[in-house]
């Protein structure tokens, strides 16, 4: 499901296999999907569904076994290691569950670290916008151990955005936060999309987190089985629970998500819903 915005990144018949022969694991099975610029997309799915593999492959952190990825107009799947390194440095932002802030540096130094490592000068007006948007004005001189978990993740978000990346990938960004801090961080991610025009792709297991997104995709067995616009937490929880149950019931009837996916993929390889 897409609208009228330009496409930021697109996967075309994307495949990823681990191992060979009878022991091969098909993590991605011919995935076709595009992500629009200026949109917040959540990717959900049971453990082992392929959602993290999809994100890592789209971000150039893992290689594809087949298919193509078009990233900001360039074909990522044909790039060499040096080209991928430059792309990740200049065009991709990352937000991790564990924050990954450097403890000996201040919040401001952590935010500017991608530019420091690249030998580039920061755009101070952009830095000011990020700091004000994320409510970090009074925390820039603090080190990570002087910040709450929510504040640390806000610093990590600013760090991800400081180089004005084409896409920000967020891997379970609220996994180590309490419910109040989670809501705060998700609100800021949503705000960065709405007010700053950022493109965010977030992997999460949390249906409430997915409800902050403009769009949510459910993954199962390496395929997209549901694609929801303006996802509601209750709806996403229902779809996720059905797919979790699916993996333990080899002879069950088709799930709602699988029935919805008939137009997206052949379901004959799913573990249930035969």
Specify the pLDDT at position 23: 81
Cα 115 to Cα 92: distance, rounded to the nearest angstrom: 13
Residues of the chain with pLDDT under 50: 1, 250-253, 257, 259-274
Cα 197 to Cα 37: distance, rounded to the nearest angstrom: 8
- Kindly report, residue by residue over 52-104, the tens digit of the pLDDT: 999 999 999 999 999 999 998 899 999 999 999 888 888 899 998 888 999 99
Cα 211 to Cα 42: distance, rounded to the nearest angstrom: 8
Specify the pLDDT at position 268: 38
Q: Is the pTM of this model over 0.75?
A: yes
For tokens 């700091």, name the residue.
131
Please say whether the beta carbons of 38 and 31 come within 8 A: no
Domain ranges of the chain: 7-263
Specify the pLDDT at position 22: 78
Specify the pLDDT at position 267: 39
CATH 3.90.550.10 fits 7-263, yes or no: no
Specify the pLDDT at position 64: 93
């Amino acid at each position: 499901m897409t609208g009228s915005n330009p496409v930021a990144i697109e996967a075309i018949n994307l495949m990823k296999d681990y191992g060979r022969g009878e022991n091969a694991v098909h993590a991605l099975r011919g995935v076709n999907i595009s992500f629009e610029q200026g949109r917040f997309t959540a990717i959900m799915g049971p453990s082992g569904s392929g959602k993290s593999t999809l994100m890592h492959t789209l971000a150039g952190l893992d290689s594809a076994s087949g298919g193509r990825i078009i990233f900001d107009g360039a074909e990522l799947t044909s790039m060499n290691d040096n080209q991928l390194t430059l792309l990740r440095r200049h065009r991709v932002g990352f937000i991790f569950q564990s924050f990954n802030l450097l403890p000996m540096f201040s919040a401001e130094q952590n935010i500017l670290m991608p530019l420091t490592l690249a030998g580039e000068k920061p755009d101070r007006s952009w830095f000011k916008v990020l700091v004000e948007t994320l409510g970090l004005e009074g925390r820039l001189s603090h080190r990570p151990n002087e910040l709450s978990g929510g504040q640390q993740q806000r610093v990590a978000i600013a760090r991800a955005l400081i180089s004005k990346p084409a896409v920000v990938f967020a891997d379970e960004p609220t996994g180590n936060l309490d419910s109040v801090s989670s809501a705060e961080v998700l609100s800021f991610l949503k705000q960065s999309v709405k007010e700053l025009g950022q493109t965010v792709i977030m992997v999460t297991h949390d249906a409430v987190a997915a409800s902050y997104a403009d769009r949510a995709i459910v993954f199962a067995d390496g395929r997209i089985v549901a694609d929801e616009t303006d996802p509601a937490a209750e709806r996403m929880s229902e779809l996720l629970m059905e797919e979790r149950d699916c993996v333990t019931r080899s002879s069950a009837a088709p799930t709602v998500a699988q029935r919805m996916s008939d137009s997206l993929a052949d379901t004959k390889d799913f573990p249930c819903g035969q």
